[in-house]
């Protein structure tokens, strides 16, 4: 191999290694402590208010609606395929309502397949979500669920 092609090959291998090494999104923490999460109102989750930024751990009461057949962040999807090629597709997106009368829709919540199997959520289950806000581009965030707890209906 000519010596002048060697630097280009090294750069390509380093770039592939960097993409591959960041190929797993952070899993939910193995244990969770309710006190580590700031309680918010459902309307705050919807509005992406300035006091809620990516990285905040929040808890929120909601009503589970359904797992989605579509990706609520298709533009962001392709960027994250590069950053997290092994796990972005593993997210199970789902929608929530803020009240039992189906007001205040939010469709940017995500959990992994293991959580989906463990929680066995049914339509309109009252729940408390514990999770971390993750950037989705611009001012939008999605909620990466760490834990779900059944709630008492209002």
For each of the chain's 154 residues, which pLDDT tens digit applies? 555 666 666 655 545 544 443 334 567 788 889 999 999 999 988 876 667 778 899 999 999 999 998 877 665 555 555 665 555 557 889 999 999 999 999 999 999 889 999 999 999 999 999 999 988 766 778 899 999 999 986 6
Alpha-helix residue ranges (DSSP H) falling in the chain: 6-21, 42-47, 74-83, 113-119
User: Is the CB of residue 123 less than 8 Å from the CB of residue 64?
Assistant: yes
Give domain 3-150's CATH architecture. Answer: Beta Barrel (2.40)
Cα–Cα distance measured from residue 108 to residue 123, given in angstroms and rounded to the nearest whole number: 17
């Amino acid at each position: 191999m000519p010596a002048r092609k060697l630097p280009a090959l090294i750069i390509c291998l380093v770039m592939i290694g960097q993409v591959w090494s960041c190929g797993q999104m952070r899993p939910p923490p193995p244990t969770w402590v309710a006190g580590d999460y700031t309680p918010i109102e459902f309307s705050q989750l919807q509005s992406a208010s300035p006091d809620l930024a990516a990285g905040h751990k929040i808890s929120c009461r909601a009503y589970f609606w359904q797992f989605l057949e579509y990706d609520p962040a298709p533009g962001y999807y392709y960027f994250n395929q590069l950053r997290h090629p092994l796990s972005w597709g593993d997210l199970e997106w789902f929608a929530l309502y803020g009240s039992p009368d189906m007001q205040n829709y939010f469709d940017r919540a995500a959990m992994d397949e293991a959580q989906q199997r463990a929680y066995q959520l049914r339509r309109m289950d009252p729940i408390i979500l514990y999770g971390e806000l993750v950037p989705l581009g611009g001012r939008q965030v999605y909620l990466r669920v760490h834990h779900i707890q059944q709630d008492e209906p209002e």
